[in-house]
Amino acid sequence: MQMVEGLAINFATTRTHWQTLAQFVDGCLRAGIRTVGPWREQVQAIGIAAAGRLIRDSGARVTGLCRSGLFPAATAEARRAAIDDNRRAIEEAAGIGADHLVLIGGGLPPGSRDISGARQMVADGIAAVLPDARSAGVLLAIEPLHPMTTADRGCVNTLAEALDLCDRLGEGVGVAVDVYHVWWDPDLSHQIARAGRRILAHHINDWLVPTRDLLLDRGMMGDGVIDLAGIRRMVEAAGFFGPQEVEIFSAENWWKRKPDEVVATTIARYNACCRASA
C-alpha cells in the first residue's frame, strides 16, 4: 500500500460511517492515510488507555485531538466546569500522543449580549488550563472560527485575534488555520506570516456557493471558491510543513457517501488542488 504523505483525515469527514476510533483509524490506514485527527467522543467511548494503545499499535499518527475550549458560560460554576473539561481534554490528548489539542472559543452565554465579556472568558479559560497543558506536553491550537459562528460556537474569529491571545499567553499556545474559517480575511497573508512557527494545524475543505447550512454544508476541496494551493503556499512560507487535514461537515452530501469513496476523493483533490505546487 502506497501511503499518502502530507494528508490527514479528520474524524468529522467520515463520522457517519467510521464512528469508533478503531473503524476510523483502520479505514484511513486502508486508504493509505497514516495521519488522523480524532475527536474526544471517540477516545472517551473506550477510555484514554485503550485509545492510546489502539493508536500506538496501529502505527497511525495523531494530528490534533478535537476539540476543547468552549469556555464562556453564564455562571462561575459553569465556567469552572468548562475549565475542568478542558483539563480532561488535555489528559486525553496526552494519552493518545496527539500533536496538539484543538481549541475553539465557544459562543455567547445564553441570554448574553456581551461579546467582549465572552472573549475575555476565553482568554481567562485558556490561561487557567495552560499550566496543565505545559506540564502534560500538550500544545493548544486555538482555531479561529468564521464570524457566522460567533453567537453559538466560536467568538474568536480571526487569526489576528487568536495570535493576540497567543502573544499574551506565551509558550505552549498556537493556532489552527482552517481555510473554511479564514479564507475571506483581507489580512490573511500577513497574519499567516505573523503566526510563523505557531501554526500547529492546517485544516482543508472548501466554501460552497451557495452555502445551504451554516454548519453542515462544507465543500470538498475544489468544489468551492477557496484558493487552497495559495493558502498552502502562505502556510509553508511561514514554516509549517505538517499535514493538510481534511475536515468536511457535509450532512447532505459527503456524509451520505461511502467513506472509502470520500477518502479516495480527498486524496485525488489533495493532489489536484491543495499542494503548494498545484
Contact residues for Zn ion, defined by CB under 5 A: 178, 203, 247
Minimum distance from residue 10 beta carbon to Zn ion (Å):
7
Nearer to Zn ion, 178 or 185 (CB): 178
Nearer to Zn ion, 6 or 109 (CB): 6
The CA distance from 264 to 176, in Å, is: 24
Compute the C-alpha angle 73/78/84, nearest 5°: 115
Minimum distance from residue 179 beta carbon to Zn ion (Å):
9
The CA distance from 52 to 43, in Å, is: 8
Nearer to Zn ion, 13 or 86 (CB): 13
Cβ-contact 133, 139 below 8 angstroms: yes
DSSP type of residue 250? B
Minimum distance from residue 114 beta carbon to Zn ion (Å):
26
Minimum distance from residue 178 beta carbon to Zn ion (Å):
3
- 75 contact partners, CB below 8 Å, separation of at least 6: none
Query: Which residues pair with residue 66 across a beta bridge?
Result: 39
Compute the C-alpha angle 69/110/45, nearest 5°: 40
Q: Which helix (H) or strand (E) holds 42?
A: helix 40-46
Nearer to Zn ion, 8 or 54 (CB): 8
Minimum distance from residue 176 beta carbon to Zn ion (Å):
6
Nearer to Zn ion, 161 or 247 (CB): 247
